[in-house]
Amino acid sequence: MSDYDLADLRERAANDDRDAADILADLTDGADDAG
């Protein structure tokens, strides 16, 4: 996962006012998708 992807997730999380658990779930899903 690139730095851009991480920054994008953080920005989306801030915009959506989501909590850390949701961000972590996204990161985990992203890693799974990357295979």
- Average pLDDT for 2-27: 78
Query: CA-CA distance, 22 to 8, in Å (whole number)?
Result: 14
Of the chain, the percentage scoring pLDDT greater than 90 comes to 0
Per-residue pLDDT, 22: 78
- Average pLDDT for 13-28: 74
Whether residue 6 has pLDDT greater than 80:
yes
Q: pTM for this structure? A: 0.34
- Average pLDDT for 22-27: 80
DSSP 1-35: --HHHHHHHHHHHHHHT--HHHHHHHHHHHHHHH-
- Residue extents of the structural domains in the chain: 3-34
